[in-house]
Amino acid sequence: MLKIEVLGPGCPRCVTLEKNVRTALDELGLRAEVTKVSDVGEIARRGVFLTPGLVVNGKVASSGHLLSVQQVKKLLEKEGLAGSSETP
């Protein structure tokens, strides 16, 4: 199963990123385990020093950027986890 982690201390940007991830997954019809990591030490151990961070299947996919729903969808497509969601 796809595993996505949102890394951040709980700031508004981190909360928004989690919502955007969940919306992107819904729009792509994907199921995933989405978890939040708020422990600053654990976030730093992952190599993320700017939040929010996004980890997809154990790989840091984004750090320090609040990705939009569309950006999350493109990231998942780039990782080969979703087909193209563009409509003609």
Task: Give me the CATH number covering residue 32.
Answer: 3.40.30.10
Both tokens of 53, joined, read 């961070």
- 40 part of a folded domain: yes
Structural domain count, the chain: 1
Of 23, 18, 33, 24, the closest CA to residue 9 belongs to: 18
The residue segments making up the domain with residue 37 are 2-78
- 38 part of a folded domain: yes
- 27 part of a folded domain: yes
By annotation, the residues acting in catalysis are 11, 14
pLDDT < 70 regions, the chain: 83-88
The per-residue pLDDT for 24 is 98
The per-residue pLDDT for 83 is 59
- 61 part of a folded domain: yes
Residues 49 and 79: their CA atoms lie apart, in Å, by 22
The per-residue pLDDT for 88 is 34
- Residue type at 87? T
- 84 part of a folded domain: no
- Residue type at 7? L
pTM of the model: 0.88
- 87 part of a folded domain: no
